[in-house]
Amino acid sequence: MPVALLALALSAFAIGTTEFVIMGLLPEVAGDLQVTIPSAGWLISGYALGVAIGAPIMALLTAKLPRKRTLILLMIIFIIGNVLCALAYTYNLLMLARVVTALCHGAFFGIGAVVAASLVAPGRQASAVALMFTGLTLANVLGVPLGTWFGQLFGWRATFWGVAIIGIFAFIALIVSLPTNKEEKPVHLASEVSALANGKLWLSLLMTVFFAAAMFALFSYIAPLLLQVTGISDRGVSWTLFLIGAGLTVGNILGGKLADWKVSFSLILSFSLIAIFSLLFSWTSHALWLAEITLFLWAMATFATVPGLQINVVRHGKDAPNLVSTLNISAFNVGNALGAWVGGAVIDKGYGLTSVPVAAAALAAVGLVVCLITFRKSGGQGEAVRA
């Protein structure tokens, strides 16, 4: 296993923690800044939109830089953004700090996934991408529950200080371990943009949008749902987030191996299971143990989708891997914002928290339809290509 993959995974852990930990701290942030839970939920959407808009812009601005230098620069922006989050004393300033942090997110994951795939032999690329994204899933296993607990104990600002420190360690690891690829060819913006003319690429990106929307419609409001419907304590929320993170990690690893075999099958299966388990949770959320089991299975199905989505997009945009891989992260965060908005709208309309998983299931069903259309148009082919 290349050591550089571990450095990428540590970076993904830091970035994933700062993105997802806000979900476990929504009640604390809302109370401290004197806003409603749905308003605090906009901090999730604002971050996601910052990624969606900033990712392709950052990819193009750094197109002529070597990938190693780009990843190091993006990690510096990440550290600065988290320090600003910790210092923010109003809702608007926190939103601005979240957007600054988000600027590095999409480009880092997009370019980092290309670098991860380049470090291994063909046929293992999905697994290499999955290993990098294991840092993201471990952020949910360790970073989110520990960050939530730490924020509940010492204040939510302390969590962002902690994430900034992790970012510094990741920054050092990237400098030390990432290889300098002297054979890396300079990127031509015209060829990067021309790769976007592929219709299958846009269907693949739309697939990612609905995957993320289905995930975050439920995940964004998991803390209030567990507190008010399942009836568990604040500490119980942290343990449940740990369980969800474990499911995400297992699913990510299995999804990487399945996508190495056949991308189309792995994505169709994952979308189907996300819809089923989301719908099931609207019923099992009333019973503690049934809720915990359902959330673990839902988490497995959810992140089993990620490696296949990333490899599938690069397959359809192989002439511009940096840009299309980054656009996939943008699509993920467009879906993130859409899902958080849908979940908040369901709550605001008075349908109740248990209707949120139903909305998530509906979004997953739409994603499944897009998935079937995509692979029907591509003849069911789902093999990864060299990044």
- Tens of pLDDT along 201-255? 889 899 999 999 999 899 888 888 898 898 888 778 878 888 888 898 889 888 8
Mean model confidence pLDDT for the chain: 84
SS3 state of residue 63? coil
Q: Where are the domains of the chain?
A: 1-187, 192-376
Reported as half-sphere exposure (CB side, CA atoms, 13 A), residue 365 has a value of 10
Pick the CATH number of 1-187 from 1.10.3720.10, 3.90.1150.10, 1.10.760.10, 1.20.1250.20: 1.20.1250.20
pLDDT grade for 349, boundaries at 50, 70 and 90: confident
Tens digit of pLDDT for each residue in 250-289? 898 888 888 888 888 889 999 999 999 999 999 999 989 9
Give the pTM. 0.73
Q: 192 pLDDT exceeds 70?
A: no
Rounded mean pLDDT of 157-166?
94
Tell me, what's the pLDDT at 385? 40
159 versus 200: the higher-pLDDT residue is: 159
Tell me, what's the pLDDT at 290? 94
Least confident interval from 119-133, 141-155, 203-217: 119-133
Tens digit of pLDDT for each residue in 41-65? 788 878 878 887 887 888 778 877 8
CA distance 99 to 42: 11
pLDDT grade for 311, boundaries at 50, 70 and 90: confident
Residue 180 backbone phi and psi in degrees, to 5: -95, 115
Tell me whether residue 124 is exposed, middle or buried, using C-beta atoms within 10 angstroms of its C-beta: 0 to 12, 13 to 18, 19 or more: middle
In terms of CATH architecture, what is 192-376?
Up-down Bundle (1.20)
| Residue-by-residue DSSP string for 153-200 | HH-HHHHHHHHHHHHHHHHHHHHHHS---TTPPPPPHHHHHHGGG-HH
24 versus 274: the higher-pLDDT residue is: 274
